[in-house]
Structure 1
């Protein structure tokens, strides 16, 4: 099983989402940014590292949301989401094609990677009652 963290980064009433590049699996779909847990790394350490490496942002994980198991043809992915606050940095797209700071009520209008869909729904139901 592949364990992957993702960050729901809230800032000034909006949430950061990123669009996968043309060269990534699931190209051009939207996702919450994150990445694979390395051996010996905690979920939170992974999340902080991945967001710094991919976006040049510093985040503080605040709360764990429900993990999502997603089966592809070749592997099982466990997506481990965290609600996070933005601590600093200026966005630099080092892997993704685009980013957007989105109002929570607009999250459902994007074309999401399948594993992120339950995360979007839980986030909206738990924190925004939309």
Structure 2
């Protein structure tokens, strides 16, 4: 099982950061909550800080566990840990994504999310309805 982490970053307007996987990457074309693979020597929170700095040039503060979702992509099993996070600093520069957006929770269903992220999309929408 591969362990990965995703950041649910909310701005001061209550919008959530989502990003689309660029062509040539696993899950290309799907939207996701940004994050990445947890290395053996790090926590999910440490992973998110590292990944968001590497992949988007931003510093974040993961402050609260949001949920856990086990998902099967055929032969690949992942365990996705989601954390609420604050943007601390930086201007977004994309590396593994080709687009990003700040959207309200009720707009999330307008985007085609990676299957492992859908449980978190639904939970965010339920919280805001």
With normalisation by structure 1, the TM-score equals 0.94
Give the match's secondary structure for 1:5.
strand
| RMSD between aligned residues | 0.9
> Gapped runs of 5+ residues in structure 1?
none
Q: 1:34-53 deviations in whole A, cap 9, x for unaligned?
A: 00011110111001100111
| In structure 2, C-alpha distance between the alignment counterparts of 1:97 and 1:122, rounded to whole Å | 25
| In structure 2, C-alpha distance between the alignment counterparts of 1:109 and 1:118, rounded to whole Å | 15
Q: 1:29-86 deviations in whole A, cap 9, x for unaligned?
A: 1000000011110111001100111001111111112200001221110010001111
Give the match's secondary structure for 2:97.
coil
Give the match's secondary structure for 2:47.
helix
Which residue is 2:124 aligned to? 123
Which residue is 1:82 aligned to? 83
Which residue is 1:20 aligned to? 21
Q: CA deviation at 1:26?
A: 1.8
Which residue is 1:97 aligned to? 98
| In structure 2, C-alpha distance between the alignment counterparts of 1:103 and 1:55, rounded to whole Å | 20
Q: CA deviation at 1:104?
A: 1.6
How many residues in Structure 1 have an aligned counterpart in Structure 2? 128
Q: CA deviation at 1:124?
A: 2.4
> Gapped runs of 5+ residues in structure 2?
none
Which residue is 1:58 aligned to? 59
With normalisation by structure 2, the TM-score equals 0.95
| Stretches (4+) displaced over 3 A | none
Give the match's secondary structure for 1:63.
strand
Q: CA deviation at 1:95?
A: 1.3
